[in-house]
Structure 1
Amino acid sequence: MLSRRALLLASPAFAQDPTFSSNVNVINLLATVRDKRGQLIQNLTEEDFILTETGKPQKIRYFSQQTDLPLRLGLLVDTSMSQEKVIPAERAAAYRFLDQVLREKLDRVFLIQFDTLARVRLGFSSNRSQLEGILNDIDTPTRKELRAAGGSGTAFFDAIGSGAELMKAETGRKALIVLSDGVDSSSDQTLATAIELALRADTLVYTVYFTDPAFYSLGFGVPNGHAVMARLAKETGGGFFEVSKKMTIEAIFQAIEQELRSQYSIGYVSDIPVGFPAFRKIHLSTRQKGLVVQTRDGYWPKRP
């Protein structure tokens, strides 16, 4: 089984700095900070953060509040039969989200739908009409498709793996947004390996838990994906959201958009020799009490 944490990737800002060698152990973090009420805090400076690696204080060498780094998004839509009633709402909210978030010639997004299999419907694109056309075409399998697949199923974890694979070669801010009830019944991957693959691609995962209670009331079991989606978001440094009467899917997409625009980019050069590449715990906090920092919590050093 693959391990479950992040792999180091060098920040583009470091790559442009001649004082940093390719052999330097550079660690880059994207962090979001909230207060006790859940409100985003966007006015912190480098001096407001405390960073340690395996308990040892580290000096922050790169700090930015800028959001002009290219944004790479993957939209993963669950089209299994349990989602049939909620897909129209997901589609409409996704239209508006992409229209507001994507900056022409700078940001790009890909689309994956998953039911019995995970399928890349569109590779990286910034063409809004193309994206909307594919979104409009995303739907649950036909009876013919279900028969060919030998029945219904949901390849949720495989979809995360496919998205991570597309992200591996990309730079900038990277995030997967997953719309699902979190139930998996046909993946080759496990939850642990899905998390590992996302972290190795240095990609945040935002999960949107959206269920159709009527489907499960018909005797198709009980949705058990809540904890799965919460864990996936937490361990990759993303965010978990649940659609409800108080929190609509439109409001959730707005919250994700705001979070993506409110991240701190923090980088440091570890002063701990690489040695054996065992997992290293990172802890990022603020000097101001009562604030919650959301980021990945570790990495495996890469030998030079």
Structure 2
Amino acid sequence: MRLEALAAILLSFTLSPAVFAQEAPSPGGPPPASDAAAQPQQGEDVQTLKVNVNLVNVYFSVRDKSGYITNLHKNDCSIDEDKATQTIKNFTQEKNLPLTIGILLDTSGSQQNVLPLEQDAGARFLKEVLTPKDEAFLISFDINVDLLADYTNNAGEIRRAINKASINTGAGTGSVTGHGSARGTLLYDAVYLAAHDKLRQEAGRKILVMLTDGGDQGSQETIKTATEAAQKANAIVYVILIADRGFYGGFQMGYSGDRDMEKLATDTGGRVINVGNNGKKLEEAFDQIQDELRTQYLASYTPTNLKADGTFRNLKIACGKDQKVQARKGYYALAGGGNDKDD
């Protein structure tokens, strides 16, 4: 199934006013007492009270020199939005909250010799992480972006889809982008489509795990628009940098994509794990992601700035000295919700 023209899903909810029936008055008796508020007389000012609950949800993990910290409470942490301190309303550890996982698999020519490692480690990761209440999907990207497996909680189904993935350089067919040679890697397009078309309408914890060397060629999207799409979907991006040294002339990192991958990951609350072309390190990278998912916190607050003006709000979370907080850098204040905001 191709993802070139995935339709965005728009959900609208209409709240119908409740109608309360009143008991009919008995004939000849006095009129029943009314609990309704007195209606304003003509000419009086009418004031309308509008209640709007607008919670911003932020998932994060905290670690120190000894590892991840799992015993924090609401008073242990603070959240600043655009340097204004916010009041945390809810604070929980969310290791059992349903999880939506998108696996993005680089199947461009540069991954020829490491694809089998990615297939084995990725399938094992999903087998260990997925529970009946979780869902995952699989996307491959090269000169195309393809949905290899749609939402499922069946790890075996994902494994079969991963094993069918193959390297595609487009040899003899030309570039589908029309730019340059046939070899291409639509990395940013894949991130954008996964975040915007697959994850944005999902609730709860959402992560993208991308296995790639970090190089992009021919995408219509950019590092900026791909990052924005992930932030608007409240999706955490983990990038596992895995490279075929032979393809890059013997150098482990013969490209410049690692810097962009660092920005994509850290701005969304994830991180980059560099494994070279080492299968053992690749398995350890997936284990590290599992550990983080088991130690995540969820903090919710009503922002002091309630304007839904579409601007980006910078977030800073602190949980004590010498403790490193891993969280997204901010969110977009979108009209009508988004970013896991409860409106």
TM-score when normalising by structure 2: 0.76
Identify the match of residue 125 of structure 1 among 152, 157, 164.
152
Per-residue displacement from partner, 1:176-209 (whole Å, max 9, x unpaired)? Answer: 0000001001111011100011111111100000
The equivalent residue for 2:192 is: 161
Name the aligned partner's letter for residue 165 of structure 2: I
Matches within 5 A, 1:5-84: 23-36=52-65, 39-84=67-112
Instruction: Give the C-alpha shift of residue 276 in structure 1.
Output: 4.7
Deviations 1:267-301 (A, max 9, x none): 00112342754332221101x21001111122232
- Give the fraction of aligned pairs with identical amino acids, expressed as a percent: 35
- Counterpart Cα distance in 2 of 1:35 and 1:162: 35
Where relative contact order (Cα < 8 A, 6+ residues apart) is larger, the structure is 1
Unaligned 5+ segments in structure 1 are: 1-20
The match for 2:293 is: 260
SS in 2 for 1:183: coil
SS in 1 for 2:247: helix
> Residues of 1 paired with 2:305 and 2:157: CA distance?
47
Distance 2:284 2:142 in 1: 25
CA spacing shift, 1:275–1:194, aligned 2, 3 Å: closer
SS of the equivalent of 2:110 reads: helix
Q: Which residue of 2 aligns with 1:11?
A: none
Under a length normalisation based on structure 1, what TM-score does the superposition of the two structures give?
0.86
Distance 1:285 1:119, change over 3 A: same
CA distance in 2, matches of 1:292, 1:246: 28
Q: 2:322 aligns with which of 267, 290, 301?
A: 290
Structure 2 segments unaligned to the other structure (5+ residues): 1-49, 176-181, 337-343
Partners of 2:139 and 2:148 within 8 A in 1: yes
Question: What CA distance in whole angstroms lies between the structure 1 residues aligned with 2:52 and 2:187?
Answer: 37
Which structure carries more helix by proportion?
A: 1
Q: Residue 176 of structure 1: which of 203, 208, 230 is its match?
A: 208
- Aligned residues, how many? 278
1:25–1:301 CA contact under 8 A, matched in 2: no
Distance 1:277 1:109, change over 3 A: closer
Structure-2 separation of matches of 1:45 and 1:58? 16
For 2:186, give the aligned amino acid: A
CA separation in 2, counterparts of 1:218 and 1:262?
38
Cα distance 1:121–1:155, how it changes in 2: closer, same or farther (>3 A)? same
Q: Which has the larger radius of gyration?
A: 2
